Amino acid sequence: MKSELWWRDAAIYQVYPRSFRDSNGDGEGDLQGVIEKLPYLQELGIDAIWLSPFYKSPNKDGGYDVSDPRDVDPRFGTVLDAKALIDEAHRLGIKFIADIVPNHFSADHIWFKAALASPQGSHERSRFHFREGKPDGTPPNNWNSIFGGPAWTQVEDGQWYLHLFDSSQPDLNWENPEVMADFEKTLRFWLDLGVDGFRIDVAHGCAKEEILVDLPDPAGLTNALRLDYLDMSKEVRAGYLSNIPFFDREGVHEIYREWRKILDSYSGDRMSVAEAWVYPSSRGARYVRQDELHQIFNFDFLMIEWDAQVMADAIKKTLAELKEVGAPATWVLCNHDSSRVVSRLGSAEKGRALAMLTHSLPGGIYIYQGEELGLPNADLPDSARQDPAFFRSGGKDKGRDMCRVPIPWEAASENYGYSTGKPWLPQPTDWQRYAADAQKGDPAGSLELYRKSLALRHSHPALGGEGEITWIDSAPGTLHFTREPGLEVLVNATPAPVEIKVSGKEILLTSSGEPELNDGVLIIPADTTVWLQR
């Protein structure tokens, strides 16, 4: 059964607009470029797009450093372009989700400039976290920024301000009611313009406690927070991240309860999705209680091993945790902050099999631009890198540019049809085979697999929706379950073909290779997912 509310089982496509399509030849993607590609997205079969920030920004952190959340950065276009994009998406039956960044503003925001120009203790400063340093001249506490280096920067008169990310991203003080009032204006501005929802950046970060208290092991915590997921076991990471004074504090929930009231006051099922990294993951359900946000990204599959048992456990755990609060699950394989899935798993086949597995699960799916093309991470020289995480870590963390390289649209065009100007990040010279036009119509390609899978999510009564899944015992290294009515899903996560007894009569879709179905026995190639009709 499909969900009655569109967002509960939607396929949502993340556009990182800077790298999507450049319509004016300045080497940077823009909103008109997204409009140009909407027919491609419609044909792909997605239900909604989520755009990473396109607001006014000095662009120190890919637009997640917002200097005016109610205006569009000239690099991307104008508010009129945003309106045209929202309207055109709607005309094509595609919903539009905007990004909202409540944890911090850019240091170029008028409020922060006013704070710097105002005396200590002024209400202008109280919109941020300004504090005195320690008597020995060091920062107020030993917290580190997630991008590396201290989380505090000193200003001219000697005070320090807190920034969990880059020093150009001062954290907002949500205990000051002006902050809530300003964000309400921003939500209403975009809702009035027609957006269908918001993706909430660092949703777990807005409330801070014990701001003057030192942490016992700040270096270990910094490693646990690193974006390239250092070789640290899940348990050790969770140990570091389960109780820290600046993440997942009770105070964040008050904010989202207020936001939910605002969203509910608009017609048309507006939604919200939280980027909230919480430990243990069961705490995530708190963000999607009935009076809070609608969805929370489940990031298990952003890091998961290609191991049948681990994947089955993650699916069961996620569905059980969210069921408690009546929220739908979400499944995410990659985004603009993480390795592309085929590179992380080390094979195109595994990436495609994982995609088909998650597309068959109850709830919503998120697809990051280029994932449907099977794009790998790009190899970049350090001289091309732009991510603050690279610079602030002194180059130890290579940052996230590898997954932000502009999309190859046309194999034979200059810059693969992304731009007529010099792309802001260099595109690999051997990406012709990944180009959207090169893959079009190729039944063995990733693009056609995504199209078929998304089409089946709409047409097959067991796909999409939120119904139960029924697990069937299967050989080690494999997954086997059914969804009603009539769908049987098999995953072979081993490096050799396996034979499995099935009840399905017909192969609906295969992630790669050529499975054989004879007399109730399916031979599945290595690293493959198969959907059968029962």
Q: Residues interacting with ligand NOJ, by CB under 6 A? A: 61-62, 64, 101, 165, 201-202, 275, 336-337
73, 24 Cβ separation under 8 angstroms: no
Cβ proximity to ligand NOJ: between 166 and 488 the closer is 166
- CA-closest candidate to residue 349, choices 468, 500, 512: 512
Tell me how far, at minimum, the Cβ of 19 lies from ligand NOJ, in Å.
13
Cβ proximity to ligand NOJ: between 203 and 311 the closer is 203
Tell me how far, at minimum, the Cβ of 462 lies from ligand NOJ, in Å.
33
Tokens found for residue 65: 């450093």
Tell me how far, at minimum, the Cβ of 392 lies from ligand NOJ, in Å.
11
Tell me how far, at minimum, the Cβ of 454 lies from ligand NOJ, in Å.
24
Determine the Cα–Cα distance for residues 91 and 407; give it in Å rounded to an integer: 24
b/e for 303-339, b at 16 or more Cβ within 10 A? ebebebeebbebbeebbebbeeeebbbbbbbbbbbbb
Tell me how far, at minimum, the Cβ of 177 lies from ligand NOJ, in Å.
23
Determine the Cα–Cα distance for residues 198 and 436; give it in Å rounded to an integer: 28
Determine the Cα–Cα distance for residues 16 and 374; give it in Å rounded to an integer: 16
Q: Which of 275, 300, 321, 337 is catalytic?
A: 275
Please provide the DSSP assignment of 181-218 as one string: HHHHHHHHHHHHHT--EEEETTTT-S----TTPPPS-H
- CA-closest candidate to residue 8, choices 95, 91, 87: 95
Measure the CA angle with vertex 368, ends 186 and 58; round to 5°.
45
Report how far Cα 48 is from the mean position of its chain's Cα atoms.
Answer: 14
- CA-closest candidate to residue 493, choices 509, 502, 480: 480
Q: Which of 22, 28, 47, 201 is catalytic?
A: 201
| In the complex, residue closest to ligand NOJ by CB | 64
182 is catalytic: no
22 is catalytic: no
Cβ proximity to ligand NOJ: between 101 and 479 the closer is 101
Active-site residues, by number, are 201, 275
